[in-house]
Amino acid sequence: MAGILILGAGAMGSAFCFPAADAGHSVRLVGTHLDLEWIYSVRETGVHPKLKMKLPGQVLPFTHDQLSEALSPACDLIVLGVSSAGIPWAVEQLAPLISNTTPILLLTKGLQARDNTLQILPDSVRDGLAGHGVKNVPVAAVAGPCIASELAARRHTSVVVGSSEATLLGSIVPLLATPYYHVRPSTDVVGIEVCAALKNFYALAVGYPAGLLARQGKAGNGALMHNLAATLFAQALAEMTQAVSFLGGRQTSVMGLAGVGDLYVTCQAGRNSRMGCLLGSGLRYSDAKTNHMADETVEGAELAFVIGPTFDRLFRQGRLDPKAFPLATAIIDAICHDLPMEIPWAAFH
């Protein structure tokens, strides 16, 4: 039995308690300062309000000011389930309390701008801890199609754990496997992390046809807009392949769980698809966010604000070909410049 600490008591961090506990481990769930209501609920009733599920009995809930206490028993794995914006906070909280021997597993998805390019989050976490004097911490990441509510319901879920260190993968993968949580290793951590981040971004575009359909209505014969959604899905994969290759990942990851698998499931529902639907209905991003999704974090839109200026710089420097990213450019224009979403048909494929 291992000791697993999960920092971040949102939907995904809390859902991860299920396979971790079912694999026979002791689990400590530590909420951030934004998760107090959920932690209090778990303490009082065992039920997580966001998941609407009772967490396994061996899960012990802690508030963020109890992180030191939660780490004091033997901890074999630290899992980060905070938002991408919460990564710097998590690094600051953990740095004074951990050594460089405890591995970290990221559930968080995203990219960060650094040195005129984009950096995957495992590198950001490792560099952030090193800046606090905790160097060479082993960091891995989870990617793949995983809806939190389905994981909490113990539905079959397949994911990939990525790390450039084969020995780290050899210790983490068997630690997490259960009859319903199917874990596969990958040394292409760059590829799976770029896919994991960009699928939220491109899901904005694949959600667009639903809003356009609502605006224009069904055709006289009842026809919908599946053709348009499929076109945008295919273009998204083509552009993800270009981005993965540019950042040093393997193109094969785009065709696996982290790429096409995760993009597919993200487009079925969720905040990114809903924002895309609002854009398709004719709203501008500022209106959609302020008046319809004010209290929700839209990961794809947040990523647009990160990659938008970086892509523009890389285009101007000639390091990236703008002709290879017409859909990304359309999304960035809609989010970062608050323009109406337009589909650049002539530039596709």
Q: What pLDDT, in 10s, does the model give residues 227-238?
A: 999 999 999 999
Distance separating alpha carbons of residues 170 and 184, to the nearest angstrom:
10
Predicted pLDDT of residue 72: 86
Task: Identify residue 144 by its one-letter amino acid code.
Answer: G
pTM over 0.85: yes
Clarify whether residues 154 and 10 are in a common domain: yes
Clarify whether residues 70 and 101 are in a common domain: yes
Clarify whether residues 260 and 307 are in a common domain: yes
Q: Which domain holds residue 15?
A: 3-187
Distance separating alpha carbons of residues 92 and 318, to the nearest angstrom:
36
**Average pLDDT of the segment spanning 148-163:** 97
- Rounded to 5°, the CA angle 317-322-327 comes to 145
73 has pLDDT over 90: no
Clarify whether residues 127 and 201 are in a common domain: no
- Look up the CATH number of the domain holding residue 53: 3.40.50.720
Clarify whether residues 172 and 254 are in a common domain: no
150 has pLDDT over 90: yes
Clarify whether residues 34 and 83 are in a common domain: yes
**At 228, phi and psi to the nearest 5?**
-65, -45
Predicted pLDDT of residue 242: 97
Clarify whether residues 263 and 330 are in a common domain: yes
As given in the structure block, the two tokens for residue 111 are: 């990219």
Predicted pLDDT of residue 60: 96
**Average pLDDT of the segment spanning 58-85:** 94
Q: Which of 131, 153, 187 is the last residue of a domain?
A: 187
Domain count, the chain: 2
**Average pLDDT of the segment spanning 172-187:** 96
Where in the sequence numbering do the catalytic residues fall? Answer: 199
Clarify whether residues 326 and 292 are in a common domain: yes
Q: What pLDDT, in 10s, does the model give residues 283-311?
A: 999 999 999 999 988 999 999 999 999 99
